[in-house]
Structure 1
Amino acid sequence: MMLNTGGVRVPEGANSLGAFRFVFRDLMDAKVRGLQVLSLVTQQCYGGGSMLAAVSDGVLVNAQSQISMSGPRLIQALNQYVEGDDVTTDQVRLVLSGKSRAATSDRFQLVEDDAEGYRRGIQRLLSSSDNLGPSINQSLLNLERRFAENGVIPSDRFTAKESIHPSIDKSKFGCGNSWSVRASLFTQDTQVGSATAAYALVTDSFADAESIYDLVKAIDALPNSISNINIFIDCPSHSPSLIDETLILSEYLATLALGVRLKHLSGVNVHVLVIGSSGGGIFAALSAAASRMSMLSAGSVQVLPRAALRAMRRPDENLITTKQLLESGAVDDMLEDLSSVLS
């Protein structure tokens, strides 16, 4: 794949979300069936494009290539607006560069920015004996090591929200050690032999690399007796933090999507439900991977959260209606309440 993209266009709203859902889902299914996926990024690759790169078995980049979930302008604006960190454009672009990506992840291969460099890089990837990328288990180990390798200390964990949703009794969820400073991951207490597992990813802010890692690790560890997984989402978007981009956030999101999709393809019914707000990479990853994507009628989905638009001084032009979400295929159905799911 040639991936030079600025990401989905915000004004296209539901159509962009629906189109990416189908493209990403089909790519993951083909990869699981054994298709070797190689990508080339000669310029910039932001948003969903970086998730496509992150499920590739190999990605050729040059030193000036830019790869990230959020574009440099958004990262800089949000870090100043939310984090209070005054990061420069040069600092952001250095983190997102092909040179930095290749130093962080074996998936990215640095080549010279000319035809001969790309030709040799493609030949090297095609001739590699280890050309189908790491397994989910190996990916999880790589992502876990990356926290320490990049000097990211796991946060003091705490609950970000006292309640998940009025329809959900929080007491039914066991709050162990799986929630990060940015988002809370509630894991349902299940009886031995139960056929259903449930998770709720909820946050007033954004889903960071740590909370995404927690979720995919928990799902991957489920016993084979589980035949149904419910994932409740109230999370406006992925994190635009420069720290999370240092870790290559798109690889965390892609691993989550692929891990959930593997459960679906193995016969597990994976039902993702938007119970509050959702959008960005977290919605893209889970909607593509799910067996069924639902949303409460009181919920909302957007391409970018309002905080991101405000930080970039852009109008809130991405209001998406229920009808648009259904017609585009971004979601499969609407629910008035959770009674049918929690019964």
Structure 2
Amino acid sequence: MHDGSFTSASVTDRLAALFDAGSENMLSADSGLRLTAAKIGSRQVLAAATDPALDKGVLGTAECTDLRRIVRLALETKRPLVLLIDSAGARLDEGLAIQGALRGLMTELLDASLAGLPMIALLGRNVFGGASMLAFAASKRCYAPGTLLAMSGPRVLESAGGGSLTTVRTSIGGLSRCRHGDAECLLDDTLPAYAAALHQWVKRLPTRPLPDTLDHERHLLGMRLGKTNPPATAYIVSSPETGSLSVSGRASIGAADALKFATMVDATQAPMDLYIDCVGHSLHMADETLILSQYLVHLARTLRRHAHRGQQLRLRIAGEISGGIYIATAGAASSVDIAPGGSVRTLPQASLNSILTRPDAAISNASADFAHYVELGVADTVSALS
């Protein structure tokens, strides 16, 4: 094995460096992902890798389908799952189809996580959007100092008032991320360092499913919030007598909102209707510094744990919703309904405005015809046409 940079290496070299020599068995894929079965010592593992050389490793509907397939295979065969993620996020030119695909993928990942499937995310140079949520669905993350990990990309955050591009990159880089939580691991940017970290992780894995660490994570996320005390921006109201929880104000959902939402859901064991009317996830630098993706996935895991325990959680989209908060809530809910006046969009409009300044951007943020929501997997039912 040579000592080259992991984040600069090709996906082929990354895979070759990680597993026992000659043990790789490439699996069929219908997307740009590399899927493989391999060995680390005496342990059989499965791996899925994005290829940053193919359109920045973006996740389209085909990639989501392949990822869902390998997650299921890992559960069925009780093999740990290794995720090599180097991705600009969702394939936005697929419109709302990618939102439906990411919803289905999030459901699969949440179910696997709650079932105790060991998953490790080895991160390359860039991990944004839906790819960042994929990383935080794993039980451990490893990355290099130069890795950029955030719900929104650096230029979007810069345009939203996050400071200079250099400041933004510093705030969302590996040196900043590794300070948060015991599931984070900063590595030297070399192929041997990533291989050693993976081998050590596999060696320490128990033979039984991983325990539920959601409550411990809640404690850590609350402590992190307490150090900066960012204000909640959404209006979240619980009505136990009607069994509903509403998120309104057409605000963006930040870290404080996501944690408050999760805490309020945990406070009731009755069936709930979740009414959401907000523009999407936050673009504020303060939320990204806290690692917004982790708070959104924590909210999703909280919701899905209630669904696993038999509590019906019906998501009713009563206004506009987009981006990470849609993926988190729709992926976790028992069912999703588009209520009168509701619509799903690809991204928060402010985020899209920044992306559209790129000459290669060909993205539509229009909501689909109501008849297509169910077909695309964005919702399960549409309660009324408008």
* TM-score, with structure 2 as normaliser: 0.73
2:36 alignment partner in structure 1: none
Q: Does 1:219 align with 2:274?
A: no
> Which residues of structure 2 form unaligned runs of 5+?
1-82
Deviation at 1:297, TM superposition (A): 4.1
Q: Does 1:110 align with 2:156?
A: no
2: CA distance, partners of 1:103 / 1:233: 32
Q: Secondary structure at the match of 2:328?
A: helix
2:380 alignment partner in structure 1: 332
**CA-atom RMSD, angstroms?**
2.0
> Which residues of structure 1 form unaligned runs of 5+?
80-84, 156-179, 191-195, 338-343
Q: Secondary structure at the match of 1:17?
A: helix
2:234 alignment partner in structure 1: 183
CA deviation map 1:91-126 (0-9, x unaligned): 111111112111123222111112110111112222
CA deviation map 1:147-174 (0-9, x unaligned): 233xx1243xxxxxxxxxxxxxxxxxxx
Q: Secondary structure at the match of 1:106?
A: coil
1: CA distance, partners of 2:99 / 2:363: 17
Contact 1:201 1:234 in 2 (8 A): yes
Letter in 2 for 1:331: A
* CA separation of 1:122 and 1:200: change in aligned 2, threshold 3 A: same
Deviation at 1:323, TM superposition (A): 2.9
2: CA distance, partners of 1:258 / 1:211: 15
2: CA distance, partners of 1:305 / 1:324: 20
2: CA distance, partners of 1:210 / 1:26: 26
Contact 1:206 1:237 in 2 (8 A): yes
Q: How does 1:65-104 map to 2 (within 5 A)?
A: 65-79=147-161, 87-104=163-180
Contact 1:111 1:118 in 2 (8 A): yes
Q: Taking every aligned residue pair, what percent have the same amino acid on both sides?
A: 27
Contact 2:252 2:278 in 1 (8 A): yes
1:200 alignment partner in structure 2: 246
2:299 alignment partner in structure 1: 256
Alignment counterpart, residue 307 of structure 1, candidates 350, 359, 362: 350
Deviation at 1:189, TM superposition (A): 4.1
* CA separation of 1:250 and 1:317: change in aligned 2, threshold 3 A: same
Aligned residues: 296
Letter in 2 for 1:237: G
Contact 1:98 1:108 in 2 (8 A): no
2:49 alignment partner in structure 1: none
1: CA distance, partners of 2:211 / 2:220: 12
Letter in 2 for 1:51: M
Q: Does 1:146 align with 2:224?
A: yes
Deviation at 1:22, TM superposition (A): 1.1
Alignment counterpart, residue 322 of structure 2, candidates 279, 298, 301: 279
Letter in 1 for 2:273: N
Contact 2:155 2:354 in 1 (8 A): no
1: CA distance, partners of 2:190 / 2:117: 27
Deviation at 1:9, TM superposition (A): 2.1
2: CA distance, partners of 1:280 / 1:262: 22
Per mean C-alpha deviation after superposition, the further-off stretch among 207-216 and 4-13 is: 4-13
Q: Secondary structure at the match of 1:59?
A: strand
Letter in 2 for 1:217: T
Q: Could you say which structure has the greater relative contact order, defined with CA pairs below 8 angstroms and 6 or more residues apart? A: 1
* TM-score, with structure 1 as normaliser: 0.81
Letter in 2 for 1:186: V
